[in-house]
Amino acid sequence: MKPVVVIPTYNERENVEAMAAAVLAELPSEGQLLFLDDNSPDGTGAVIDSICVRESRVHVMHREKKEGLGRAYVAGFAEALRMGATHVIEMDCDFSHDPKDVPRLLAAVAGRPPYQEGGADVAIGSRYVKGGKCVGWPFRRWLISRAGGIFIRFMLGVPVKDPTGGFKCFTRRALESLGDFSTIKSFGYSFQMEMNYRMWQAGLKLVEVPITFSERRAGASKISGSIAIESLKMVFKLKFS
């Protein structure tokens, strides 16, 4: 098994050192970590370069400009497959996703205990299944996220309770089933929802693994009101395309 964890970064210099150490501690010896830095003005890229010098399992893709979360992940997934990944894990760099949950996502796709339903093609870290939760969120933010997820599920029919979650493990087969990544429509955060939809449409098996989502440790949040508008537009594009 050669899992590759793919983490986009933009102004995350306060988190990358600790994140790299935490992720590598949870991966098997063959596992790799790939950062995708969108030319962060705070010097995140230089910090990652210094980590790469010390740790051969850490890699970085320097991108010329910030093009959105979706474009970053598309580039990262392609590079992870080129690196020989058997599994590709996506997660945030701000510790809102706990690196200790990485083995649980891998177990879910492999069908290892406690996930013994024959494995899956995609494991989704879910805030909204039994055992999942959000920590540090105001009620209004939780309500918008929860209601949005219910609306997305109703409109698209995808049996996922946390369709906007960004902590996932894909098998190589699942990503290769997409064929040409350029067909992915989303540039921003709606990428998460589109990937679920595309995988479900392809007949792949998706499972949700309960996680605790925590507010970021350091740095500024990238979440804004425009993200909700973008996601709403994407729902209708996917529904009626």
pLDDT, one tens digit for every residue, the chain (241 residues):
999 999 999 999 999 999 999 999 999 999 999 999 999 999 999 999 999 999 999 999 999 888 889 999 999 999 999 999 999 999 999 999 999 999 999 999 988 777 666 689 999 999 999 999 999 888 988 898 899 899 999 999 999 999 999 999 999 999 999 888 888 888 888 899 999 999 999 999 999 999 999 976 655 555 555 666 777 788 888 888 7
Provide the pLDDT for residue 45: 96
User: CA 55 to CA 61: how far, in whole Å?
Assistant: 15
- By the 10 Å C-beta count (0-12 exposed, 13-18 middle, 19+ buried), 129 is classed as middle
Task: Check whether the bond before 103 is cis (ω within 30° of 0).
Answer: no
User: CA 223 to CA 232: how far, in whole Å?
Assistant: 15
How many helices (H) does the chain have, and how many strands (E)? Answer: 8, 9
- Say how many C-beta atoms besides its own lie within 10 A of residue 63's C-beta: 20
User: CA 76 to CA 128: how far, in whole Å?
Assistant: 27
Residue 175 is which amino acid?
L
pTM: 0.91
Provide the pLDDT for residue 99: 97
Provide the pLDDT for residue 60: 98
In the chain, the number of structural domains is: 1
Q: What CATH number should be reported for the domain holding residue 89?
A: 3.90.550.10
Tokens of 237: 């594009």
Range of the domain at 224: 3-240
Largest CA distance in the chain: 49
User: CA 133 to CA 142: how far, in whole Å?
Assistant: 10
